[in-house]
Amino acid sequence: MKAEDKSKYVRSMETVVNIQGQVPSQMISNSAVFCSKMTDFIDSYQILYNEVIECAKDINAKSQALASTMFAMHKFIEQLSELNRMTRCQDQHEMYAWLSKMITGSGNFIAQQGELFKSFLGSHMKYHLLEHDSFREILKVREEVKS
């Protein structure tokens, strides 16, 4: 029993065993509704999860591209600041220097936000999609029992 308590989570229905050798289940009032909608649920679930994963990747790619553009703009603004410093226009020099820092900070924020979408939303969804495989297996077992 101690060894079973320490065993890792398994995905296959055949490997889910308790001491009596059975998987306990209990029908509730919503079970019939869930079973009748299970096929539509499984198909829609997988399609939507794949769409979310692709959107997260797309957001990351576009965020990285926008961040690159902002970093390029930062260089031009720095050059404007330097030109104003050379002509001794101190106020404009400072304004462009602060603007350059703001653009760099915004670029970093956008790049990091894209990474967060990709890693915490896109990658996280892949684990849920793997968990979803057990729904497909349950439906397959259910259809085999029915037939």
CA distances from 86 to 64, 98, 102 (A): 33, 17, 22
Q: How far apart are CA 28 and CA 145, in angstroms?
A: 19
pLDDT in tens, 89-101: 899 999 999 999 9
Nearest-angstrom CA–CA distance, 102 and 109: 10
Question: Tokens 């892949």 — which residue?
Answer: 126
142/31 Cα distance (integer angstroms): 13
User: Which tokens is 10 given?
Assistant: 């398994």
Higher pLDDT among residues 78 and 121, named by residue: 78
At 6-59, the pLDDT tens digits run: 666 555 555 555 666 666 666 777 777 777 787 788 888 888 888 888 888 899
The residue with tokens 């990091």 is 112
Q: Provide the CB-side half-sphere exposure for 132 (13 A, CA).
A: 18
62: CB partners within 8 A, 6+ apart: 114
Q: What is the model's pTM? A: 0.61
- Joined together, the tokens standing for residue 110 give 């956008």
pLDDT of 70 > 80? The answer is yes
Structure tokens at 30: 């919503």
